[in-house]
Structure 1
Amino acid sequence: MIRTLLTVERPRPEAVRNHAGAWRFAVLTVCFGAFMGQLDASIVTLTYQALREEFHTTLAAVQWVSLSYLLTLVALLVPIGRFSDVHGRKLMYLYGFAVFTLASAACGLAPTLAALVGFRVVQAAGAALMQANSVALVTTSAPPGRMRAALGMQAAGQAIGLALGPTVGGAIVATLGWRWVFWINVPVGILSLIAGHYLLPRTRERARTSCTDTVGVALLAAATTCALLALSVASGLGTPVWTAAVLGAAAAVAGWAFLRRQSRHPDPLIDLELLHRGPVGTGLLGGLCGYLVLFGPLVLVPVELARRHVSSISAGMVLTALPVGFALAATLAERLLPLGWDDRRRSRAGAAGCIGALVLLVLLPVHAALLPVPLLLLGLALGVFIPANNSVVMHALPRSAAAAGGGMVNMTRGLGTALGVAAVTLALHLAHGTAGYVAASAVLLAFAALALATTAPTRPTAGAPES
């Protein structure tokens, strides 16, 4: 009985399955996961100062509470997606909620920073089980004519979680302490597990094999981990400086081996040929830059305001302007931008807006009353750029490669987020005080300029549709 419960997808009750709103129930259940994932992504940076004080360590060490989570996501999303196609997306999604919830409770009990980082790796494995299956569960639950509405509901869940993260995180850290940032996931996770068991549909069509490139997964994880460890050492991690060069060399070797294997493997994690289809390669680079610019301020602003003795609650309220702007633009841009603008023009306008907002961020005095203005503008610009840029990438791919393209977009999102955390931390370490804030803002500005450069027209590949 227990073995069957743990290995076989259970059907929904007949009353739920035959209800006219059954697909809405399923999509709302997935929205819980979308909400939790984005809430967790934007809430944890508010704990950095409290973690530094409790564990008496540096910002370079504390950033691994975020980086360990992001690196695990990058490594696991694609292989878990393929595994779930064989063994059942509902089953894996529910396992994800269970792992995420238990790991969240463990994070709140962590006695040391090393233990917290380890529990975050486990938590990310649960998040990967959820994220790898969320879109598939939404699209298979909704009727064909309601798919866009269903995906819009999921995007709304993500936007709400991202927007509430800074405010909720600041309030929790200031009143209950940083441990409750993780414990808040527990009751939501339990409710979601129960809802998922009764409301999510079983997997009707399954793939025959989940064969994937495990060596490629290991090489990708090694390359990204070594590269970010090298940045952390340079940011003051507390290890000999020469180890940064060793780690950088190891990252380069692992990266070269990964690309070489992908070019030869019959079922690669990343189809390198797809990167040469029109704007796919440049679009993925632009997406990485966009997510870097989105998440960099989530580290920069709380650290700088804490240095100026601004409370966690106030810092959270200031930082909320960024995800609120992103959520507003992502949901309303379709109605407000000129109808004649294609995705590439929208991408270009969004990237240019990012540059203007970051210039304003550098020029304005660092004050809690003024920072929401450039942060809101930056969020609005990114809310235009990122969806349009992702659309450019996906439209340049053939339908048969849609899943592979979606996996690459998810990987660049994770890498961009991780690099945003690492790049800002490095800039703050190399230049102290106000100079560090300006230097970190300049780094973000440079990546925004690179994002704008990726929107330049590209020569279409034969057989590839123009965006």
Structure 2
Amino acid sequence: MGHRRRRGLAKGDAGMERATLAQREHRLPLEDVIQRPSGMWFIVGTVCFGAFMAALDASIISIALPKLEQAFHTTMNRIEWVSLIYLLALAGCIVAFGRLSDLIGRRPMYTLGFGVFIVGSALCGASWSLASLLAFRVLQGIGASLLQANSVSIITAAADAERRGQAIGFQALAQGLGLSLGPLVGGVLTHIASWRLIFYINVPVGILGTLSALLFLPRDRREGPRPRFDLVGALVLACLLIVTMYVLKEGFTPESRPTITAVLLAVAVLATALFIFIERKADPALVPISYLREPLIWMGNLTSVLSFSVMYAITLVVPYWFVHIEGLSSAKAGLLLTALPVGMALCTPFAGRLADRWSKVKVSALGMVLAAIGAAGLFAFTRTTPAFLAGLFLVGCGVGTFTPANNARVMNATPGPHLGVAGGILNMSRTLGMGVGVTAGGVSVELFTAAFGAHDVALAYRCSFLVAAALALIALGLTLLPQGRSQAGK
């Protein structure tokens, strides 16, 4: 009896030893590092790497469009699709990839995103025709959506509640800087070399990001049977987002056709109704309708759209103000515009920390107050003076203060199984905000020009800054509305 017992214990010890060895074999190379209290910042840094790179490529192409037009012997109308098709791919895939990351794991999806982005960038740089460049930009956009869909959710899962706002602040800073600095970086690269360099530069940067992801991102593969992925819902949502982004970017330009815009708006409405019907029946749903019904969730995403629309209405109109009204060169205009991302860079990390220690609602509200004051300042000061640049700086401070606090509110109120899709929706709201801002800025200038006449174009530009201020005030009002009793959102 004793002999059998000793033999059983020996077998048990051997089994435990094998399990321990297997566990060690599956450990990350630097797992001991990321498990330290400060190890979270290695994860945040990795996520910021991808967030910056994906956001930079959304805006870096704008400065290279004239050279691309010459290189491919085409028209500006066609070459603008190089920018638009990237945003369409990004918007169409981001929520579905966020949900897939909840099912498969965020680490493998994020690492895959770097790989797809690297391949897409290299192929874009090697493009031999406009058609090939557009196809490879779609691939690049898919890679970017894999990165952006997982960025906020990875940080939310890795950061404790006391530091989550600050961590999300750094991620928001990386995205904001990427989007804001894209034209400046693109201008430098196209000036010193070919337009192809703006794509090739992503390859070594992406390789570093991939290595960082493999070393630092924690394992989170799901055990057991995986729920079914709602493919039909994903396709309908992708159609809805692509149509919406297209209408926002192209549907209200002078060259657009009202009939086509009206048809696309009708398609968007029908796609919305169909998506809601599908999600109510789906088990599990791609985006749980009950989750979207939470006031804090949908209000947080709506105010996110409005905040980024303020930023992009300003960044669209101000360069035209500098060049057409002030008569400055494009290079000097781009340099002066950096007052906005500088304000964002300075405020975002501190705003995240302040939101953790004080109040996420109050910090979000403070951000929109600053943005509204900054936009109103652009209206008040009619020349490019230090006061005008201070207005730009305040807009950057405002969006940089609002974003981490608002994102932390939404993510804190999100159940763990839905972090991926919640992060995807938040990033989608940023993309939609960009489209809304560009549309609001462009349309407002046209409407005010028609109202005041061609002799007072300067006043039309100034009034468009008031439209941006009004958007900030609307976001402020929505932020201060009571949004349920959830303590997570305070």
Matches within 5 A, 1:286-301: 286-301=303-318
- Tell whether the 8 Å contact from 2:102 to 2:421 is kept in structure 1 after alignment: no
1:304, distance to aligned residue in structure 2 (A): 4.4
- Residue type of the partner of 2:333? A
- Tell whether the 8 Å contact from 1:12 to 1:198 is kept in structure 2 after alignment: no
Match of residue 335, structure 2, among 306, 314, 317: 317
Matches within 5 A, 1:354-433: 354-365=371-382, 367=384, 371-397=388-414, 402-427=419-444, 431=449
Q: Which residue of the partner structure matches residue 471 of structure 2? A: 447
- Tell whether the 8 Å contact from 1:397 to 1:464 is kept in structure 2 after alignment: no
1:288, distance to aligned residue in structure 2 (A): 0.9
Matches within 5 A, 1:51-90: 57-58=75-76, 64-90=81-107
Q: Which residue of the partner structure matches residue 183 of structure 1? A: 200
Deviates more, 1:159-168 or 1:100-109: 159-168
CA gap 1:95/1:364 in 2 versus in 1, 3 angstroms: same
Local SS of the residue matching 1:365: coil
Q: What do the CA deviations read for 1:216-263 (whole angstroms, capped 9, x no partner)?
A: 2222222233234344143034x6442222222222222222233233
- Residue type of the partner of 1:456? L
Q: Which residue of the partner structure matches residue 331 of structure 1? A: 349
- Tell whether the 8 Å contact from 1:322 to 1:376 is kept in structure 2 after alignment: yes
1:408, distance to aligned residue in structure 2 (A): 2.8
CA gap 1:365/1:109 in 2 versus in 1, 3 angstroms: farther
Q: Distance in 2 between matches of 1:383 and 1:369?
A: 21
Q: What do the CA deviations read for 1:75-133 (whole angstroms, capped 9, x no partner)?
A: 32232233344545443333321221222233334456555443322111011222333
The alignment yields a C-alpha RMSD, in angstroms, of 3.9
1:222 aligns with 2:246: no
Q: Distance in 1 between matches of 2:113 and 2:30?
A: 23
Q: Distance in 2 between matches of 1:280 and 1:203?
A: 25
Q: Distance in 1 between matches of 2:410 and 2:65?
A: 35
Matches within 5 A, 1:267-306: 267-306=284-323
Q: Which residue of the partner structure matches residue 265 of structure 1? A: 282
Q: Distance in 2 between matches of 1:124 and 1:208?
A: 30
CA gap 1:401/1:210 in 2 versus in 1, 3 angstroms: closer
Q: Which residue of the partner structure matches residue 131 of structure 1? A: 148
Share of identical aligned residues, percent?
Answer: 35
CA gap 1:68/1:13 in 2 versus in 1, 3 angstroms: same
Q: What do the CA deviations read for 1:380-403 (whole angstroms, capped 9, x no partner)?
A: 111222222233334455566555
Q: Distance in 2 between matches of 1:338 and 1:210?
A: 34
Q: Which residue of the partner structure matches residue 169 of structure 1? A: 186
1:175, distance to aligned residue in structure 2 (A): 3.7
1:103 aligns with 2:127: no
Q: What do the CA deviations read for 1:185-216 (whole angstroms, capped 9, x no partner)?
A: 12212333344445555445447325232222
CA gap 1:329/1:439 in 2 versus in 1, 3 angstroms: same
Q: What do the CA deviations read for 1:7-65 (whole angstroms, capped 9, x no partner)?
A: xxxx789764556889565554444213312332443343455556766645x766544
Matches within 5 A, 1:132-211: 132-135=149-152, 137=154, 154=171, 157-158=174-175, 161-162=178-179, 164-176=181-193, 178-197=195-214, 200-206=217-223, 208-209=225-226, 211=228
Deviates more, 1:312-321 or 1:138-147: 138-147
1:140, distance to aligned residue in structure 2 (A): 6.5
Q: Distance in 2 between matches of 1:176 and 1:251?
A: 42
Q: Which residue of the partner structure matches residue 253 of structure 1? A: 270
Q: Distance in 2 between matches of 1:86 and 1:280?
A: 21
Q: What do the CA deviations read for 1:391-442 (whole angstroms, capped 9, x no partner)?
A: 3334455566555543432221222123223433444566485466346434
Deviates more, 1:317-326 or 1:137-146: 137-146
Q: Which residue of the partner structure matches residue 4 of structure 1? A: none
- Tell whether the 8 Å contact from 1:293 to 1:448 is kept in structure 2 after alignment: yes
Deviates more, 1:446-455 or 1:143-152: 143-152
CA gap 1:329/1:62 in 2 versus in 1, 3 angstroms: farther
Local SS of the residue matching 2:479: coil
- Tell whether the 8 Å contact from 1:95 to 1:129 is kept in structure 2 after alignment: yes
Q: Distance in 2 between matches of 1:147 and 1:370?
A: 34
Deviates more, 1:255-264 or 1:197-206: 197-206
Give the alignment's TM-score, normalised by structure 2: 0.77
Q: Distance in 2 between matches of 1:62 and 1:362?
A: 33
Q: Distance in 2 between matches of 1:343 and 1:146?
A: 12
- Residue type of the partner of 1:73? L
Local SS of the residue matching 1:279: helix
Q: Distance in 2 between matches of 1:221 and 1:180?
A: 31
1:459, distance to aligned residue in structure 2 (A): 5.9
Q: Which residue of the partner structure matches residue 108 of structure 2? A: 91
Q: What do the CA deviations read for 1:131-155 (whole angstroms, capped 9, x no partner)?
A: 3334555566789998778666655
CA gap 1:428/1:210 in 2 versus in 1, 3 angstroms: farther
- Tell whether the 8 Å contact from 1:354 to 1:448 is kept in structure 2 after alignment: yes
Q: Distance in 2 between matches of 1:56 and 1:317?
A: 29
- Tell whether the 8 Å contact from 2:58 to 2:86 is kept in structure 1 after alignment: no
Give the alignment's TM-score, normalised by structure 1: 0.80
Local SS of the residue matching 1:234: coil
Name the larger-Rg structure. 2
Q: Distance in 2 between matches of 1:408 and 1:400?
A: 14
- Residue type of the partner of 2:474? L
Q: Distance in 1 between matches of 2:222 and 2:356?
A: 40
Q: Which residue of the partner structure matches residue 212 of structure 1? A: 229
Local SS of the residue matching 2:49: helix
